[in-house]
Amino acid sequence: MAAQKGANVAVAEANYLGGTCVNVGCIPKKLYHFAADYRHAFEDARGFGWQVGTPAFDWPTLVRNKRTEITRLNGIYQNLLEKAGVQTYQAHARLCDAHTVEVAGRKVRAERIVIATGGWPYVPELPGAELALTSNEIFDLPTLPRRILVVGGGYIAVELASIFAGLGCDIALSYRGHTLLKDFDADLSRHLTAALATQLRLMLESDVTRLSRRQDGSITVDFTSGAQEHVDAVLLATGRRPNLSGLGLENTAVRLSDSGYVEVDANFRTTEPSIYALGDVVGRMALTPVALAEAMVLVDHLYGDNRRTLAYDNIATTVFSHPEVATVGLSEAQARQCHDEVAIFESDFRHLRHTLSGRQERTYLKVVVDPASDRVLGMHMVGGEAGEIMQGFAAAMNCGMTKAQLDSTVGIHPTVAEEFVTLRTRTR
C-alpha cells in the first residue's frame, strides 16, 4: 500500500511471507479446525439417516494439502509485493541506527523504518523444555502423536487441544489457573470448559515441573502435585512474546514497555522519530486483521490524507475450538467496571441439529447492555459457526446498535443467529 502511494519500499523477512497467520497461525489452524469438524459431522450424520462406515483419517494427506495451500498463499504475497515495486530481502534484518538496516550482507538506508516482526511462542524455563513442541511446529509433525499434553489455558492452547482431540488424539489440557480463556467473558469460559470436558481431560490448577524422555521415546511429565503423565508429545501453548531478538534496538532510541512491547504513540511512531512499529510487537490486540488495519492507518498518516482511524473497542474475535467461541465488545465484568448498571440477556439451548444428531452440545448466547443509553456493550457466543455469526453483529455494534434496534430486527428462522434478536427477558 505504501508503494502504491509512491513510496520506495523494501521488506526484509527472515522466515516466510505472510507471517505467523498464513504459515503457522490462522490459516493452518482453520484448515485443521475444518478437518476436526468432519469427525463430528460423520457422527452427526447417522441421526439424519446417513449410513456412515468407520471413517479413517490420514494425517500425511492433511499436512501435504495444507503445505500446498500455504505455498500458494506465499506466492500471492510475493506477487503482490513485486507488482507494487517492493524490493524483498529473504534475510534477517538488524538495525544499525535510526536510518540504517543491515540485511543480507549489506547496509540499507531508509527515511523511515517500520518494525512489524510479530510475536513468537514463549517457552518457559522448565527442565526438559527442549523436548516440547510449540505452535510453530505442531502443524508439520511427520506422524500424528497418539497422546498429547497441551500446556496452557489461552486461546491457542484451547484451539489446538480441541482440534487434535477432534483428529482422534488422546488429549490432556493442563493449565495452572482455575479457568480457561481468563481474558474472555466468564460465562463463555464456563460454557466452553463444560464442552471441552466431554472431549478431553482437563487438568486445571495444574503446573508442570519437568519433562523427561523415556527409553521408548515417549515423554514423562511431572507436576507440582506429584502426579505424572506419559505422553507422545507435549505442546507448550504458554503465550507469545514480541519477536524482537537480534533486531538491534539497542542501537536506536526505541523504548520498550515493562512488558517488553515497543512503545508507540497514536500514529505508531516509536521514541525514535524515524522508526515506527505496529502489530503484535506493540501489544494492543494480537490479531492479524488488527495489524493490517494499523498498517493502513500508518500508510494513510504518512502518505495519504491522514483521515483513517482505528478504534479497538468493538473488534470481534473468535476462538476456533469445538464449539467455537466468539465475542465483540465488553465482557460483563468489564461493563460493570465502567457503568453504574448493566443488563444481561442470555440464552442457553440445544441446537436444532442436535435434536437428531443426538449430540448433547449446547449453544450459549449473551448480550450485555447499558440500561441508561440502551446501547449494546458486548455480545458473546459459544456454539457452532460462532465466528461467522458474530461478524455481522460486530458491524452493527460499530454503528452504535441499541437493544431496541436489536429487538426490532426480524430473525431468520430457524437459525442460531436469530436467538440474538429474540432475547427479551433480562437475566440479571
Whether residue 176 is contained in a domain is answered as: yes
From the centroid of its chain, how far is CA 243?
16
The predicted-structure confidence for 311-362, as pLDDT tens digits, reads as follows 999 999 999 999 999 999 999 999 999 999 999 999 999 999 999 999 999 9
How many domains are contained in the chain? 3
Domain shared by 159 and 225, yes or no:
yes
pLDDT of 33 over the 90 cut? yes
pLDDT category, 52, cuts 50, 70, 90? Answer: confident
pLDDT in tens, 357-390: 999 999 999 999 999 999 999 999 999 999 999 9
Q: Is residue 123 part of a domain?
A: no
Locate cell 487434535: which residue?
164
Q: Is residue 308 situated within a structural domain?
A: no
Residue where a domain stops, chosen among 253, 279, 303: 303
pLDDT tens, position by position, 74-103: 999 999 999 999 999 999 999 999 999 999
| CA dihedral sign, ordered 353, 355, 356, 361 | positive
Strand-pairing partners, residue 133, are: 235
pTM for the complete prediction? 0.96
Is residue 5 in a domain?
no
Q: What share of the chain is helix, strand, coil (3-state, %, to 5)?
A: 35, 25, 45
Residue 1 forms part of a structural domain: no
pLDDT digits 0-9 by tens, 216-245: 999 999 999 999 999 999 999 999 999 999
Where does a domain end: 192, 216, 238?
238
Residue 190 and residue 162 in one domain? yes
Same domain, 133 and 232: yes
* Averaged pLDDT of the chain: 97
Which residues does 405 contact at the CB level (< 8 Å), separation at least 6? 396
- The one-character DSSP state at 48 is G
- Same domain for 191 and 263, yes or no, is no
One-letter amino acid for residue 347 of the chain: S
Q: Looking at the structure, do residues 14 and 113 belong to the same domain, yes or no?
A: yes
413 is catalytic: yes
Q: Are residues 246 and 228 in the same domain?
A: no
Q: With contact defined as beta carbons under 8 Å apart, do 24 and 118 qualify? A: no
Does 311 reside within a domain?
Answer: no
pLDDT value, residue 125: 94
At 180 the pLDDT is 96
Pairing label, strands 233-236, 100-103: unpaired
The residue from 209, 238, 267 where one domain ends is: 238
Q: Are residues 101 and 143 in the same domain?
A: no
Domain with 213 in it: 129-238
User: What CATH number corresponds to the domain at position 170?
Assistant: 3.50.50.60
